[in-house]
Structures are given as structure tokens and as C-alpha cells.
Amino acid sequence: MDKDRVEGVATNMGGKIKEGAGKLTSDEKMRRDGVMDQVKGKIQNVVGGIKDTLKGK
């Protein structure tokens, strides 16, 4: 498994936590930041998957 995939999953999970905390505290900026972290994590995961495919894993 490529390190980008691991980091992507971690970023995605952190974003979900941040989004939830933003909703809980009615902090719109924190919620948006959490959603953006999730998008970033998903993209990073896809990039890692492509690297794995190219390496033949």
C-alpha cells in the first residue's frame, strides 16, 4: 500500500472529525475545513491507488 493512500485515509478521517466538531459547535469555517480535508484525503487516496496500480501491486 502506497504511503499516499495511508495519508489520504488519515486526512479523510480527520476531516470527518473536524466537520462533525464544526456542526456540533455551529462553527461554519471548521465544518467547511473538514469537508475540504475530506476531499483532499480522497484525492490523495486515489493518487496512491494509481501509484499502486502502476507498480503492479
Q: What is the pLDDT of residues 21-42, one digit of tens each?
A: 999 999 999 999 999 999 999 9
- H-assigned helices in the chain: 3-25, 28-55
pLDDT number for residue 56:
84
Does position 1 have pLDDT exceeding 80, yes or no? no
Dihedrals phi, psi of 56, to nearest 5 degrees: 85, 25
Q: Number of folded domains in the chain?
A: 1
Sign of CA dihedral 46, 48, 54, 57: negative
**For the purposes of burial, counting CB atoms within 10 Å of the CB of 43, is it exposed (0-12), middle (13-18) or buried (19 or more)?**
middle
pLDDT category of residue 57 using cuts at 50, 70 and 90 = low
Q: What is the mean pLDDT of residues 36-52?
A: 95
Range of the domain at 8: 3-55
